Amino acid sequence: MSDAGNMPFVLVGLNHRTAPVEVRERLTIAAADLPAALESFCEQTESQQAVLLSTCNRVEILGCEPCDQIRATDYLSRQSGLSSSELRDHLYFKRGEEAVQHVFRVAASLDSMVVGEAQILGQLKEAYAVARASGFVKSGLDALFAKAFAVAKRVRTETMVGSSSVSIASTAVELAKKIFGSLERRSVLLIGAGKMTELALRHLRTQGVGEIFVINRTFERAAALARKFDGKALAPESMSEAAPLADIVITSTGSAEPIIRKQHAEEFMQRRKNRPMFFIDIGVPRDVEPSVNEVDGVFVYDIDDLQHVVAANTSDRTREAERAEAIVLHEVGRFRERMRELHVVPTIVSLQDSMELMRQAEIDRMRSRLGPLTVEQEAAIESLTRGIINKVLHGPITALKTAAKAQEADALVEQAERLFGISQSPKSRAKV
């Protein structure tokens, strides 16, 4: 019995290490579009269940066999508008135990741009919740994600990987410090009022920045965020007036199209009298058009540029990351053992169901011969027959569980089904 049979999971995706931001942004899927994307994926790949994770640094889909690499790649090709050949060099495809290990590493933030950052676990939980609510998670993926979240908790508890408050947002602020030397009295414009922006604001405030302006598509959200950090909320239409006042512009909007283009930057610089202006674009898709970098005095850093800062922050975490990797490997082994045992559960359930039907039939036959029985007699017959069935089944069930651990269950399952005249009913399979 192969591990692939026990763990029929397949994962396809790309991340910040395998694909540049200009490729990742072509595949980004908005939260509101996830159910439709999951339905399309399952239809095109014949997977019965799936979870889709889309963040600024990765797009990954975890499904189940018979989904294969070709069909999964074709699906992503249609989603992105890129040809399969253009995508192929950026994608990774993992199957079985390798897919399980990858999910555990992602949940534990060992595969993140910033190792140990806390956001990815929340994003993974949201992706799982959407897929489950939409009916695309059954028992197999349910068990996998329950274990992944437990592994992430164990890594956080037993290692110091997440001890420092490091995130993409904090790394963006670190980059701004490198640019200016000091952020004191620097004016900042934040465009977008999501979680990433709030994280950036928290770090900016600790650096003693001057004025803070917040712009968001929904003014109420901008106002609520600005109040928390003594900033000023502005209406979206005031961006052209506010941007030239800012030394630093940090964007994270989720917009499908760039909100700042080259002509905007040229206008900003005219009003700033050519004083340098820095854009830190942590949005995927990107909020700032790449050509903005061509304007004299304007410097644009996107999320891929943050990796240079991240590299300086990872050296102290190497030892803790190694401890975390060991935990992941151990938990993959435990999950593998559990899935092997689950492989024989349908046969065990069918065996128990078959014996129970036989027991009930024999009791009914005896009732017709013995006539009415007292309550005490009914209880005695119930106890006696159940005890016999349990003793008869103890040996076969123990043998099946032992065979599962030794990866020898397939042959024994076949023998048990032939010997007892049973088969795995849909009801039995549904319990796995």
Q: Where does 134-183 have alpha helices with state H?
A: 139-158, 168-180
Tell the burial category of 403 from Cβ atoms under 10 Å away from its Cβ (0-12, 13-18, 19+): buried
Query: Nearest to residue 282, comparing CAs of 346, 213, 197, 223?
Result: 197
E strands, 180-325, are 188-191, 212-215, 232-234, 248-251, 277-281, 298-302
Q: Residues 42, 56, 64, 67: which is the catalytic one?
A: 56
Task: Indicate the helix (H) or strand (E) that contains 15.
Answer: strand 9-15
Q: How far apart are CA 79 and CA 197, in angstroms?
A: 28
Tell the burial category of 232 from Cβ atoms under 10 Å away from its Cβ (0-12, 13-18, 19+): middle
Active site residue 56: yes
The letter for the amino acid at 2 is S
Token output for 174: 């670190």
Query: Nearest to residue 186, comparing CAs of 209, 158, 213, 169?
Result: 209
Catalytic residues, by residue number, are 56
